[in-house]
Amino acid sequence: MITFGILVGNLIDLGTESLDSTASWKIPQGISFLWAIILAAGITIFPETPKYDFARGQVTRARETMAKFYGVPVDHVCIREQIAEMELKAAAEDRATRMPWHTIFTGPSMLYRTLLGAALQAFQQLTGANYFFFYGNTVFRSVGLDNSYVTQIILGGVNFVCTIFGLWLVSQVTRRKCLIGGATWMFACFMVFASLGKYKLTRSDGTNDPQVGKVMIAFSCLFIAAFASTWGPLVW
């Protein structure tokens, strides 16, 4: 939803950029307020999550909410399985609350798990995706795309579509293989992108080669595709 919201925002900005008045920024802001109002109003009619109801003893209401979600009777086998799973998780969380804080480091295999989780979050931010989102318009100028809105729409579109693909991909391939493959893919794209930018983009007369610039744009999109389908959504 975040990637979709960013893409829609870029499209709205592109549609109002030619307005020579304060409407160029008031219209996008006003539309943003509209979505927030719809969300705030709609959330008031949403039921509480089954886990929340279950934790507070509202087991019947939790069953009814899940039954509506799955489209099955409240006594269906999948509802019973979900309730049983909640009971196990509640018992595990109860035991966890009685453990000292340093258990996240001293418990069985917990040091490895804690460091792995922290490292994945850190390396996600260090993959270089933010470079393309923040400085992509600078690179795209090499082929005459001076409009930063167009640049962000291209990258945002790739990011949105490939995020959806990533959610399907992780259900078909293990998360570990997705992350390894995505990291390898991004490394290859960065090597090609950096090599072209360093040795081929600038001509001897100081101008940029548009053909090389187009190849760099292609590899920047391939990089975003790799990030959005693996390290972007899967680390979370």
| Last-in-domain residue among 65, 98, 131 | 98
- Structurally, the chain folds into a number of domains equal to 2
In a domain, 29, yes or no: no
* pLDDT > 90 in the chain, percent: 3
For residue 56, give the amino acid letter: R
Confidence (pLDDT) at 184: 93
Confidence (pLDDT) at 19: 65
User: Global pTM?
Assistant: 0.65
Residues 165 and 194 in one domain: yes
CB contact at 8 A, 50 and 86: yes
pLDDT in tens, 123-177: 888 888 888 777 776 667 666 666 656 777 777 788 888 888 888 888 888 888 8
In angstroms, the CA 129 to CA 235 distance is 14
In a domain, 18, yes or no: no
Domain extent at residue 159:
103-236
The CATH number assigned to the domain holding 151 equals 1.20.1250.20
